[in-house]
Amino acid sequence: MATTQQTSADETRTQRAQVCIAGGGPAGVMLGLLLARAGIEVVVLEKHADFFRDFRGDTVHPSTLNIIDALGLRSEFDAIPHTPLPRLDAVINGIRIHAIDLSTLPPPNRMITLMPQWDLLQLLARAGERHPSFRLRMNADVTGVIERGGRVVGVRADTPDGELVVEADLVVAADGRSSTVRPSVGLTPREYGVPSDVLWFRLPRPTEKMPDTLLWAGVGGFVITIPRPDYLQCGLLIPHGTFPQVQGEGLEAFRQRITRVVPRLTEVVGVLASLDDVKLLSVQIDRLDRWWRPGMLAIGDAAHAMSPVFGVGINYAVQDAVAAARVLAPALSRGGADALDAACAAVQRRRERPTAMMQAIQRAAHRLIASGRRGRIIDNPPTRVQRAVLRLVLPTLRPLMARLIGYGFRPERV
C-alpha cells in the first residue's frame, strides 16, 4: 500500500508509491488499474473533484470493449446505460450512407458503444479500488515534477489540504493535451495545425425517432450528433478561430446554420436560449518526438493529442495504457532505473507508429473538411460516377473502415 507522511514544518505531505500517474482520464485510470492488478503501488492524481465533464467524447470502441472483457468488467459495464451502435451512418448532402458496418468485425464486440465518459472512468476507478495497491486522489492538481540527479523522482500537487509531494520510481504524464508534467521536463510536442474548432451543445431528441447518425455534412457545414440516453450531444465544426464571427452573427443565425445541415433538428433547436449554451472546443493534433525522460513517461493525449475525427482518442489512450502496463509492470517488479528507462523507450517504440498513422488519417479528414466541399462531396441526386462509387467501392471499404475505426492500428491485449 502506498504510504503517506506529514512533514509538519511546511504542511507538505509526502507520499511514496512505485508509480505516480498525473491525470485521471482514460489513459491514467486504465494504467492505474492495470498496474494495481499486477501488484504495483500506484497513485493517480486528478485535478478535478469528479469525472463529470461532457466534452471528453463518449465512444467505446471494440478495442476497448475487448479490454473490458479481459478485465472481467463486462457485466458491470453492461449494467450502465449505454447505446450500442453496430452501424455508423453519415448523412451527406441529404443522402444517408451506411459508411461503417461494425457487424463485419469478428465477434464478440461488433459495435461501438456510446457511454458517457464519466461512467466509464467511474467503472475503471471502482475496479482499481478493489486492489489494495491502487490509490486515486481527486482534487490533486499536479504543478510540476521533482528531479534528482537527472531523474524525475516525483511530483508536487496542490490539494485542498495543502501541498502533496508524491515520490515515485516512475511518473506518468497522462494529463492530457494541456499537460503540466510534459513542459516541466522540457518536452514540447510537434504541432500539426488543425484548421477546425468544435462548437459543443446539447439538444433534446426530436419527437420522431431518427436513425442514430454521427455525422451530417451539408452546405452549412458539418454537425456531429452523439445519441446520449436522454439527449443529443451535438458539435458544429467551424474553421479555426471563427467563433467570434459566429457570436457576431447571433443566436438565430447559429440555429439556422444547424438546421440547414440537419433539418430534423428544427423542432428542437429553439431550446438553445443563448450562445452561452455553446462551448468552444479547440481541436488539436500534436505528438512528442520523445515520450520519456529518465523516471518519466507520457501516454495518451499528453504524448499525442488526437482530434475527435473517428472518435478514436479515448481508445488510443486506453491502448497506450495497456501497452505501457505490460512492459512497465515487470520492469517495476524487478527494479533498477536502467530497466525502467528501457521499458519507457519500448512503450514509445510500440505505440508511436500506430499513433502517427491514425493522426495522418485525421489530418487528411480535417483537410477535406476545410476544403469547403462540405455537402458537395456528393451531389443530390448523385451523379452517375458517384452512384457507381457508392454501389461498388463502399461495400469494399466498409469492412476496412470498420477495422480501422474499431481497432485502429496495432490493438493491444491485456
Give the whole-angstrom CA distance, residue 91 versus residue 101.
15
Of 58 and 341, which has the nearer Cβ to ligand FAD?
A: 58
Contact call for residue 36 and ligand FAD (CB under 6 A): no
CB of 306 to ligand FAD, least distance (A): 4
Of 93 and 113, which has the nearer Cβ to ligand FAD?
A: 113
Of 115 and 343, which has the nearer Cβ to ligand FAD?
A: 115
Of 93 and 184, which has the nearer Cβ to ligand FAD?
A: 184
Give the whole-angstrom CA distance, residue 199 versus residue 263.
18
| 224 burial type by CB count under 10 A (0-12 exposed, 13-18 middle, 19+ buried) | buried
Strand 87-92 relative to strand 213-218: parallel, antiparallel, unpaired?
parallel
- Nearest CA to 255 out of 308, 297, 201, 212 is that of 201
| DSSP-assigned letter for residue 308 | S
Of 234 and 312, which has the nearer Cβ to ligand FAD?
A: 312
Q: Which three cell numbers stand for residue 3?
A: 504510504
Give the whole-angstrom CA distance, residue 230 versus residue 93.
27
Q: How many CB atoms lie within 10 A of CB 227?
A: 18
Contact call for residue 180 and ligand FAD (CB under 6 A): yes
Contact call for residue 28 and ligand FAD (CB under 6 A): yes
Q: Which three cell numbers stand for residue 53?
A: 465533464
Judged by CB under 6 A, which stretch of 41-49, 74-82, 95-103, 237-245 contacts ligand FAD?
Answer: 41-49
Q: How many CB atoms lie within 10 A of CB 219?
A: 11
Contact call for residue 315 and ligand FAD (CB under 6 A): yes
Q: Which three cell numbers stand for residue 293?
A: 525522460
Q: How many CB atoms lie within 10 A of CB 94?
A: 14
Contact call for residue 59 and ligand FAD (CB under 6 A): yes
Give the whole-angstrom CA distance, residue 219 versus residue 224.
15
Residue type, 166: V
Q: What would the x/- binding string for ligand FAD be over residues 132 to 171, using CB under 6 A?
A: ---------xx-----------------------------
- Nearest CA to 301 out of 20, 28, 34, 54 is that of 28
Of 153 and 378, which has the nearer Cβ to ligand FAD?
A: 153
Of 88 and 312, which has the nearer Cβ to ligand FAD?
A: 312
CB of 24 to ligand FAD, least distance (A): 5
Query: In the range 5-24, which residues lie near ligand FAD by CB under 6 A?
Result: 22-24
Contact 329, 339 (CB under 8 A): no
Contact call for residue 56 and ligand FAD (CB under 6 A): yes
Per-residue b or e along 36-46, where b marks 16 or more CB atoms closer than 10 Å to that residue's CB: bbbebbbbbbb
Give the whole-angstrom CA distance, residue 191 versus residue 355.
14
Q: Which of 55, 242, 334, 395 binds ligand FAD (CB under 6 A)?
A: 55
Judged by CB under 6 A, which stretch of 13-21, 85-93, 301-309, 393-401 contacts ligand FAD?
Answer: 301-309
Of 229 and 336, which has the nearer Cβ to ligand FAD?
A: 229
Q: What would the x/- binding string for ligand FAD be over residues 275 to 294, using CB under 6 A?
A: ------x-x-----------
Of 47 and 293, which has the nearer Cβ to ligand FAD?
A: 47
Contact call for residue 408 and ligand FAD (CB under 6 A): no
Contact 293, 187 (CB under 8 A): yes
Give the whole-angstrom CA distance, residue 151 versus residue 407.
35
Q: What would the x/- binding string for ligand FAD be over residues 191 to 230, using CB under 6 A?
A: -------x--------------------------------
Q: Which residues bind ligand FAD (CB under 6 A)?
A: 22-28, 45-48, 55-59, 141-142, 174-176, 180, 198, 281, 283, 300-302, 306, 308, 311-315, 317
